[in-house]
């Protein structure tokens, strides 16, 4: 199989359920000072966590690590660039992203905020050791399709698209 050859589409309902499940786990570990969302993927989960946990202090760390490939197809991971940082070491804060994939971005941000509790909704094996709490693990060759990246359309049956 080629890298990211499996699609894992996530609906808004599923994303919301997973973020609520993450909130339940985090409420047991609090109290928390606030949430730091890693943009852009962490913004939606951070909003749900903030509502469910009644947290009003929300900040962002803005990191660029993926860009469109020259062919315009899948995104490719490049150099990590911090567009907006944050002060402190993250103590008492929840650091949230949608996904930990290879762990490159996670490692970089974790070094910036070593005392933050790092959470994601989804984790792949290569990045999983860098996250404190996550909800769903997927294989490394899975491409997660988040609801903000999709429109509703026809899907071919798996039997027609899987290599036999």
* Residue of 59, 70, 89, 98 marked catalytic: 98
* Residue of 101, 132, 149, 163 marked catalytic: 101
Asked if 163 is an active-site residue, the reply is no
Domains recognised in the chain with CATH numbers: 6-148 (3.40.50.2020)
Residue range 110-128, pLDDT digits in tens:
999 999 999 999 999 999 9
Per-residue pLDDT at 153: 79
Asked if 97 is an active-site residue, the reply is yes
Residue range 141-161, pLDDT digits in tens:
999 999 998 888 787 888 887
Total residue length of the chain: 164
Neighbours of 98 (CB within 10 A): 24
Cα–Cα separations (whole angstroms), residue 156 to 49, 148, 153, 160: 34, 21, 10, 7
Per-residue pLDDT at 1: 42
Per-residue pLDDT at 154: 84
Per-residue pLDDT at 75: 57
Asked if 101 is an active-site residue, the reply is yes
* Residue of 7, 54, 70, 97 marked catalytic: 97
């Amino acid at each position: 199989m080629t890298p990211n050859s499996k699609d894992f589409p996530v609906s808004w309902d599923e994303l919301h359920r997973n973020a609520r499940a993450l909130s339940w786990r985090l409420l047991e570990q609090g109290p928390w000072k606030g949430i730091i969302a890693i943009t852009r993927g962490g913004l939606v989960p951070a909003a749900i966590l903030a509502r469910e946990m009644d947290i009003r202090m929300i900040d962002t760390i803005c990191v660029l690590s993926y860009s469109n490939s020259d062919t315009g197809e899948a995104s490719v991971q490049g150099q990590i660039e911090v567009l907006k940082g944050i002060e402190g070491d993250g103590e008492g804060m929840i650091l949230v992203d949608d996904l930990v994939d290879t762990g490159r971005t996670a490692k970089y941000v974790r070094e910036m905020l070593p005392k933050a509790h790092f959470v994601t909704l989804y984790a792949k094996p290569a990045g999983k050791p860098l996250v404190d709490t996550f909800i769903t693990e997927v294989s490394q060759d899975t491409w997660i399709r988040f609801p903000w990246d999709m429109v509703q359309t026809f899907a071919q049956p798996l039997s027609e698209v899987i290599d036999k």
